[in-house]
Structure 1
């Protein structure tokens, strides 16, 4: 390996900048790295299959509700609660570095909430129209009072929202349903409203209590039905005292950040990765199992889509 650690990013989301992203900034502050087309370590995600062209150490990062294929990657960072030496749980909201989580712990922040008066009811900002749970709940809640939708899907305000945080800050509630549900799959959707003193109405991970204080969230899992959840929303909407008490609760359990925000934990993981001198998985016999696993998953996915 050269003096510098050569890395490359492939198969990330549209607009991803290899020189301006959380991984690059985090690593460059702690390791001697350089971007290279001949990498020692390849960072890849789930938006294409360019990673298959590389036979170096592969590090998978999931920004979607997709499992890591450990027959194809040497290491993985994902939402999943799995205990493996080559896996680190790193939910998407943790790398949402536009927001400083310590702000939510500030006593002055919690105190200031009590003086805030919200002028609008509820909003939603989504572009993905594939979540039927989200669509159904949106329609049910609109039967009580209009929910302003500012995204590319179900838009009812006449324009697309450019600044989500600025948009949602005037609302009491924000529908923060994930695109799909899986234990541990928690994106920025539930996290962002907390910075605007807004109550997230959440559906997604059945283990959201591992990430946030569920007493500060209107979590669908705490209610027997959509109707029971909506009854609670109406109660808070019509009682300012109850609403203020609710949003004054800590965003995190015991008002402490979870271990997922611990930069040393993440740094130690990358030390393990970069000091690994074993043969890359792509150069071993296991790569053939990886091909079989990937093709099998693709077959079953296509089959399920035909049935849908």
Structure 2
């Protein structure tokens, strides 16, 4: 077990997500592997201390483990597969991206007349995997150890999170974080729209109004949305709604009609059709917490 995994195991004794004393920082623990299944990722960094995860976004596969970490510049619905070894739980440190902090770091680079990202500019992306170098690993370990003491967490924690964000900015893929902090980039314009969709997915959402919210024409909005997320706006909204519905059916054991209503479907029959097309089985097969047959966890593209 790595030093980071040893600390995280002490801080997160049970299954699932554990908030820490430091706002925006948490620990995730899972005792077993899981097959490919849909998840709604939120904006942030996921630093794996033990175990491996694969994220599937359309035709792209992103693998992260103790050697590298996942960065999500936007909230993204995607498929995820987790791999653990017997007696070695999956352990990860989860850090939300503080946009105020991100803006401050980029402003310091600007004030010093320096470019935060060296080398060729990369396309703006909603997620990417970055290698965990020695300095980055040292900083994450110091943050984890600080979380063991409330005083150290509150005094040292924010600075350590800032340092981790700095390393991420200057690493491969960091240009997407810089774009998130800049004005009038695709990422910075789409970011509030994505968050709005995640908060209001159960409401009627008009794509033209979402484009206006991003201060883009409808064709430009569609083009930039797909370029960044690999999905159209309608596909993105559907994936969020259907993934949330699946969670309601499996975890909260609600009935099909209630799940359809709570995620924004007015027609239960339309909900059932789209759910079956997405998951390969009807929603009633999952209603009341019914188990999902092996091999049917993943979803084809909508």
Q: State whether TM-score is above 0.5.
A: no
TM-score (norm 1): 0.23
TM-score (norm 2): 0.24
Bigger share in strand: 2
Rg larger in structure: 1
Bigger share in helix: 2
